[in-house]
Structure formats: structure tokens, C-alpha cells
Amino acid sequence: MDLEFNKNDDSMRLLISEMKRKHANICLGGGKNKIKKQHEKGKLTARERIDYLKDNNVDFLEIGSFAGDGMYKEYGGCPSAGVVAGITFVSNRQCVVIANDATVKAGAWFPITAKKNLRMQEIAMENRLPIIYLVDSAGVFLPMQDEIFPDKEHFGRIFRNNAKMSSMGITQISAVMGACVAGGAYLPIMSDEALIVNKTGSIFLAGSYLVKAAIGEIIDNETLGGASTHCEISGVTDYKAKNDKDALDKIRNIINKIGSNEKAGFNRDKPVNPKMNEKEIYGIVHRNRAKPYNMKSIIKRLSDNSDFDEYKEGYGKTIICGYARIDGWAVGIVANQREIIKDKKGEIQFGGVIYSDSADKAARFIANCNQKKIPLVFLQDVNGFMVGSKSEHGGIIKDGAKMVNAMANSVVPKFTVIVGNSYGAGNYAMCGKAYDPRLIVAWPTAEIAVMGGEQAAKVLLQIEKASLKNKGEEINEQNERKLLDTITKKYKEQTSPFYAASRLWIDAIIDPTQTRQVISMGINAANNAPITKAYNPGIIQS
């Protein structure tokens, strides 16, 4: 291994260490004192509930762990959006699990909480997975009600999705393990089956204080909407549990009886580990994102037996396409090549840039994968499409549109991994969040933005200087440098993977060595949803 490899390896390990440190802090939710109070009430925390519920020795693919990171500082923050969620196995059945974290503002719903819940329901619907809600929430966070209550993608969409999933035959199970208030009370009751924990669970449209204020009735919360009330008088809930663990055991028993679904039929062989060491990825991805590296070296450390059957190897070289297996699953890989390439004419093609021939190749390959029912994996490290008169005259917009059409209309499931740069229209063409990947994750080296930081900062500086000039103000060289530094710092913060993850532009930030596991879990989930329509790439100009 050379010096550059070792420096890259060190840089990646530092980024992974920082990611793990941040995640460990997020896992504390509202803090150790709030966790202690939860335990004193005889309740498990959200993470403890999920750990008890899931099968032994299986992975929990957490979605949105960094959601809300750095947001709502004026309210003390909202770690993990106040809800822990992900995909795991319960009684040998792959399920989506959503657990309110009552240590974070009593489990109240912030705008990002609603967005995260909707994302989890989307995953359940796309993949036809049973969904389990572990409810412990004070309802909408009132100081921000205008940002969570009335719009299409706000709180009410949760209940709309409950109804839609019911009509689709997707099993929904709710356990009321704490407060379940106001509009939130509809969620468990719109599920197929609802449990409630005795003495700690409660369901009501209005609590005792509001009831007294509204109609003058004096009543305690337990009598108003506790377990005995709803299991023996109202019939709102189906099962009474003695404690958290009893409720979770009952859920496992319910899931254990669900019949099997028709499968999509994606091809899977016996999984084989890559021949090449996965951890060498750390040293291959360059710490300087402007520097080239060979993406094929990454692919061979992700694929079973390090095998990769490349499609059109000698054509359109800035995008790599080909077939492989990941944890046994057959996949089609579309990846940006980061090496600088010299073609037979002696012309230079820049790594990470999509040219007309590359876009054309990718569009054809995506169509082939749809015909063969092979899931697609996109590995993004892209600066965008090639610009300039030669590219424009050669029809780069037309060829780019072909690729976007082919990708957007794909009927096989798509999975996106952001390895490095994810800039501009390259983000779109390589299946960014707007194009419905079943899962989209990023490595700690990722950057997501309309353009690279250096170029963007210079453009923003020119805009700021022009604005100051219009006001009759001049800026000297020293102040210009200071302004550029301020703009660059702000832009860099906005392009970081943590900024993207906090806003759920991506589902997770992962260690590169987790990539095989994430893709495998994603395809396993997608295999529960048969493909019901034919592939049609839409109108594409020839």
C-alpha cells in the first residue's frame, strides 16, 4: 500500500469515527435523565423496545437516525426526529418498525417527525412490508403546529396512509405504550390490531384537563382512556398487556401467524464474500474529492467473489455499467467512473462527468435490467453532465434526457449509494431522492449540492459583491476574502451528509463496509412486492 492509500484510509476512518460518535449521542435521545425517568415509570425506551421486539442476531437497518440533527435549536433540538424507525425481522418476517421516543419532548411530533413517519410508511407500501407502531407520544408539538398540521405531507397524511395500507392488505399493528393523544389517537385504531399497556398506555381525543375546560367534566386520564376502559368498555383496543415486554411478545405472536406473500422473484444465489478486502475501500476513495480513483476497484470490493460482468466496457467510459451479485442477489450496477480517461482519439474525458455516450450506454443498460427483472444499484460520485459547445452541439441534453427517462420509469427497485460528489443534474440522472430509490444512503465522504463548493462560493461571492455595489458600497480585498470564507463555510455545512440526513434527503449515513448489508436488506424487502406493470421508458428522442 502506498502513502496516498494510507492517508485516504486514515481520513475515511476519522470520518467514520465522527459519524459513530454523533450516532452514539443521538441514541441517548432526550438524555440520560429522561431515560432514567422512563425506566422509573416501568417503561422501556424506544430503542430498547425495538431491540426486544426484533429477532435475535438480526440486523436493524435504522432509517433517519440523523433526522432533525442540528434543527430546532430554539426548542432544545429533536434527536432522531423524536422517533426511532427502521427495517428488521420480527418472528422471521421482515417488518417496518416505528417507535416514538418519549424522552424527546414527550414524543411530540415536530415537522421532521411527520416527514420521517411518512418515509417509513412509504417504505412499507412500496415493499408491502408489515408495519409496527410503538406509540408513546404527546401529539403535535404545538409551537410549530402551522408547519405540521394542515398541508398535504403533514400529520394528516399519516392516517390517509393507514387507510391506503389497509386497502392494500398490508398488516399494521399498533401498541399504545404511553400517551396517545388527539389526532394521534386515530393511528392505532386505524391499524388492523391494537394493543395497550395497562396503567402506562392511554388513548383519548382530549385529556382530562382539556375535557374539564371544554365541558366541565372532572375525570382522571386512566378512567378516561386507560387500558381497562378501552379493552372492556369502549372496545377501541384489542389486547391488554401487563407491561412493555408483554405487549412486544404479543406483537411477535401476531406477526408469527401472518401468511406468506407472493414474491417479486428477484434472482438470488448463495451469498459469497468479496475476494478483495472490503475495508480497502477506505484507502481507495480519495480524501481530496478532486482527485481521481478507479470506481471498478470499489465495485469489486462490494460484489460477491469480486466478480463483475461489465457492459459496453470500451464505450461511454465515464459511466460503468454491469452485472454482479451482492449478498447473493443479482444486481445491475450503474456507477460514475472517477478516473480521467483518454480515448482512442487522444481526447480527455474527465472523471465524474457524464458525457453523451455514457448517458446513452446507461439508458440502454437500465432498459436491459428492467427486461430481465434485475434490481438496479447506483453508485454516485458525479459532478454533473459535460458542458461546452462540443457537448451542447452533440446533444448532451437529449442524451441526458434519455438516461433520466429510462431511470425514472424503471419498474425494478432502485438503490442509491452516494460515495462522493452528488452535484446538479448528475444527482438526478443517477437516481437521487426525487426519483424514488427504495433506499438512498451516503458514505461519510458524500456531498450533495447543486454544484461543487469552490465554484458555488465564487458564484455567490459575485452575487453578493454586485448587491453591495448596487447599494453604493465597495468591498476591499481583505473583506472580499473574509466574505468568501464565510460563504464557503456556510455552503460546506449545507453540502455535508449530516445536513442531508437531518432533512431526510437520504435515509442513512453508513460505513462503506455496511453497503452490501444495506442493499441486501433492501432487495429482500423489495422482493415482497411483485412488479405489476411493464417497463415503458417514456418519450425519448432518438
Distant-in-sequence, close-in-space partners of 394: CB < 8 Å, separation ≥ 6: 356
pLDDT tens for each residue of 274-327: 999 999 999 999 999 889 999 999 999 999 999 999 999 999 999 999 999 999
Q: What's the grid cell of residue 522?
A: 433492501
472/475 Cα distance (integer angstroms):
10
pLDDT tens for each residue of 476-514: 777 767 777 777 777 788 899 999 999 999 999 999 999
Q: What is the pLDDT of residue 72?
A: 96
pLDDT band at 51 (very low <50, low <70, confident <90, very high): very high
Selection from 67, 149, 136, 58 nearest residue 95 by Cα: 58
Q: What is the pLDDT of residue 503?
A: 97
Strands (E), 270-413: 309-311, 319-326, 329-336, 341-342, 348-349, 353-354, 376-382, 384-385
Q: What's the grid cell of residue 486?
A: 464565510
Residue predicted with more confidence, 400 or 538: 400
Distance of CA 326 to CAs 95, 374, 480, Å?
21, 12, 50
**What mean pLDDT is predicted for residues 338-359?**
83
Distant-in-sequence, close-in-space partners of 454: CB < 8 Å, separation ≥ 6: 488
**What mean pLDDT is predicted for residues 365-377?**
97
Question: Could you give the residue ranges of the DSSP H alpha helices within 92-225?
Answer: 111-127, 156-168, 186-189, 208-215, 221-225
pLDDT band at 540 (very low <50, low <70, confident <90, very high): low
Q: How many other CB atoms are there within 10 angstroms of residue 505's CB atom? A: 18
* DSSP annotation of 335: E
pLDDT band at 457 (very low <50, low <70, confident <90, very high): low
pLDDT tens for each residue of 185-195: 788 889 999 99
Contacts by 274-280 with C-beta closer than 8 Å and gap 24+? 274/300, 274/301, 274/302, 274/303, 274/304, 274/305, 274/306, 274/516, 275/300, 275/305, 275/306, 276/300, 276/301, 276/306, 277/301, 278/302, 278/512, 278/513, 278/516, 279/513
State yes or no: pLDDT of 256 exceeds 60. Answer: yes
pLDDT band at 361 (very low <50, low <70, confident <90, very high): very high
| Pair 88, 59: CB distance under 8 Å | yes
Q: What's the grid cell of residue 329?
A: 442477489
State yes or no: pLDDT of 542 exceeds 60. Answer: no
Selection from 57, 65, 62 nearest residue 96 by Cα: 62
Mean pLDDT over the full length of the chain? 92
Q: What's the grid cell of residue 489?
A: 463555510
Which residues does residue 384 pair with via DSSP β-bridges, in sequence order? 353
Question: Could you give the residue ranges of the DSSP H alpha helices within 152-284?
Answer: 156-168, 186-189, 208-215, 221-225, 227-228, 244-255, 281-284
Between 121-130, 142-151, 455-464, the lowest mean confidence (pLDDT) is in 455-464
258/485 Cα distance (integer angstroms):
58
pLDDT band at 539 (very low <50, low <70, confident <90, very high): low
| Pair 340, 383: CB distance under 8 Å | no
pLDDT tens for each residue of 13-39: 999 999 999 999 999 999 999 999 999
- With H, G, I as helix, E, B as strand and everything else as coil, classify residue 250: helix
Q: What's the grid cell of residue 348?
A: 480527455
In degrees, rounded to 5, the angle at the alpha carbon of residue 413 between the alpha carbons of residues 411 and 417 is: 135
Q: Which helix (H) or strand (E) holds 399?
A: helix 396-408
What is the pTM assigned to this prediction? Answer: 0.93
